[in-house]
């Protein structure tokens, strides 16, 4: 008779003591291995997938100082088990990026840059309504007027005299 595969759903607190005897540069890597060893021992599964959240938690204080223990949620069956933080949502991978496409995006020639520009433009347009734009313009005009000192009466009179002399010379 065949037995139905049991679904595994459990929360574990994993002690990560094994990294303490490792050299400083390999401690977080050892902590990741400790997670795999612990989950393998307790679930007897062959394939273990560690989520991005668990990885970021272990490496959050750098590769030299991983945490001493972490709390994780283990889900899966006898073949494959996923290890994640309690309450963490796993996103399914929809599309695999090719190596060239990833490089293109990082160098600025890909679609990602265009998408980011478009999103930024939409956000700015949404945030800056007509009234806000008018307020900003009025405020800028007031600041400009405050910065520029009004010309003194003597300067105005001199300029007027120069203009009158120039007009007389042209007329003559």
pLDDT at 166 over 60: yes
Residue 29 lies in a domain: yes
Match 């060239």 to its residue by tokens: 100
Q: Containing domain of residue 58, as a range?
A: 8-84
| In-domain check, residue 139 | no
- What number is the average pLDDT over the span 7-11? 90
Higher pLDDT among residues 138 and 86, named by residue: 86
**pLDDT, position 70:** 94
What pLDDT does residue 5 have? 63
Residue 157 belongs to a domain: no
- Domain assignment present for residue 112? The answer is no
Report yes or no on 70 lying in a domain.
yes
Number of domains in the chain: 1
Q: What's the rounded mean pLDDT across residues 19-46? A: 91
| Type and span of the H or E element at 131 | helix 130-147
pLDDT of res. 80: 93
Q: What is the pLDDT of residues 99-131, one digit of tens each?
A: 566 665 556 555 666 777 777 777 777 666 667
| Model pLDDT, residue 30 | 93
- Decide if 86 contacts 95 (C-beta within 8 A): no
Q: Which two tokens stand for residue 74?
A: 């283990």
Is 70 exceeded by the pLDDT of residue 1? no
Do the domain assignments include residue 166? no
- What is the average pLDDT across 132-142? 75
Question: Is residue 44 included in any domain, yes or no?
Answer: yes
Is 53 among the domain residues?
Answer: yes
Q: Is the pLDDT of residue 20 over 70?
A: yes
pLDDT of residue 75 exceeding 60, the answer is: yes
Where residue 45 sits, what CATH number does that domain have? 3.10.440.10
- Measure the CA–CA gap between 98 and 27, rounded to whole angstroms: 31
Distance CA 7, CA 170 (A): 101
């Amino acid at each position: 008779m065949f037995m139905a595969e049991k679904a595994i759903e459990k929360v574990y607190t994993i002690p990560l003591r094994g990294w303490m005897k490792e050299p400083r540069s390999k401690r977080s890597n050892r902590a990741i291995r400790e997670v795999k060893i612990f989950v393998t021992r307790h679930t007897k599964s062959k394939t273990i997938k560690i989520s991005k959240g668990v990885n970021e938690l272990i490496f959050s204080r750098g590769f030299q100082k991983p945490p001493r223990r972490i709390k994780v949620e283990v889900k899966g069956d006898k073949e494959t088990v996923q290890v994640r933080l309690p309450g963490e949502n796993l996103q399914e991978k929809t599309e695999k990026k090719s190596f060239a496409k990833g490089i293109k995006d990082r160098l600025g020639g890909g679609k990602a840059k265009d998408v980011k520009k478009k999103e930024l433009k939409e956000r700015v347009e949404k945030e800056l309504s007509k009234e806000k734009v008018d307020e900003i313009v009025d405020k800028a005009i007031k600041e400009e007027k405050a910065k520029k000192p009004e010309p003194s009466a003597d300067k105005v009179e001199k300029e007027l005299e120069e203009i009158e002399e120039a007009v007389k010379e042209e007329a003559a």
